[in-house]
Amino acid sequence: MMSRSLSVESRRFGDVIVVTCVGRLIAGDEAGLLEQHVTSLLPDHSQIVLNWHELNYIDSGGVGLVVRLLNRTRTAGGDLKLCAVSERVREVLKITRLDRVFDLHEAEAEAIAAFGRPPLVDTPTRLDVDILCVQEAADVGACVSEVLRQAGYRVITLGNLPDALMLFKGSRPKLVPISAELRAARGTWTAETFNAQTRSVPVIELPSDFSGRDAEVSSRALLDQVGAALGSRGPTS
142: domain CATH number?
3.40.50.2300
With respect to residue 33, please indicate whether it lies within any of the assigned structural domains: yes
- Burial class of residue 187 (count of CB atoms within 10 Å of its CB; 0-12, 13-18, 19+): exposed
Same domain, 186 and 224: yes
In angstroms, the CA 12 to CA 77 distance is 18
With respect to residue 140, please indicate whether it lies within any of the assigned structural domains: yes
Same domain, 156 and 182: yes
Predicted local confidence at residue 126, as pLDDT = 36
Same domain, 17 and 104: yes
pLDDT over 90 at 2, yes or no: no
216 CB contacts (<8 Å, ≥6 apart)? 91, 92, 95, 96
With respect to residue 172, please indicate whether it lies within any of the assigned structural domains: yes
Same domain, 220 and 157: yes
Same domain, 135 and 65: no
In angstroms, the CA 225 to CA 220 distance is 9
With respect to residue 211, please indicate whether it lies within any of the assigned structural domains: yes
Predicted local confidence at residue 232, as pLDDT = 58
- Which of 113, 141, 174 finishes a domain? 113
What values do phi and psi take at 138, rounded to 5?
A: -60, -40
Predicted local confidence at residue 27, as pLDDT = 86
pLDDT > 70 fraction of the chain, expressed in percent and rounded: 89
Predicted local confidence at residue 209, as pLDDT = 87
Predicted local confidence at residue 235, as pLDDT = 64
Same domain, 107 and 77: yes
Short-list 185, 177, 172, CA closest to 225: 177
Same domain, 222 and 157: yes
In angstroms, the CA 118 to CA 98 distance is 18
Quote the mean pLDDT of the chain: 86
* 49-103 confidence digits (pLDDT tens): 999 999 999 998 888 899 889 989 988 999 999 999 999 899 888 888 888 889 9
Predicted local confidence at residue 128, as pLDDT = 58
Q: How would residue 192 be classed by pLDDT, with cut points 50, 70 and 90?
A: very high
Residue 184: Cβ within 10 Å count? 12
The SS3 call for residue 222 is helix
Q: Which of 35-39, 50-54, 155-159 has the lowest mean pLDDT?
A: 155-159
* 101-137 confidence digits (pLDDT tens): 899 999 998 899 888 555 444 443 334 568 989 998 8
Predicted local confidence at residue 169, as pLDDT = 75
- Burial class of residue 79 (count of CB atoms within 10 Å of its CB; 0-12, 13-18, 19+): buried
Same domain, 94 and 151: no
Domain range for 180: 131-230
How many domains, the chain?
Answer: 2
Predicted local confidence at residue 162, as pLDDT = 85
Strand order in the sheet with 155-158: 155-158, 131-134, 176-179, 203-206
With respect to residue 125, please indicate whether it lies within any of the assigned structural domains: no
pLDDT over 80 at 171, yes or no: no
Strands 16-25 and 7-13, by their bridges, are antiparallel
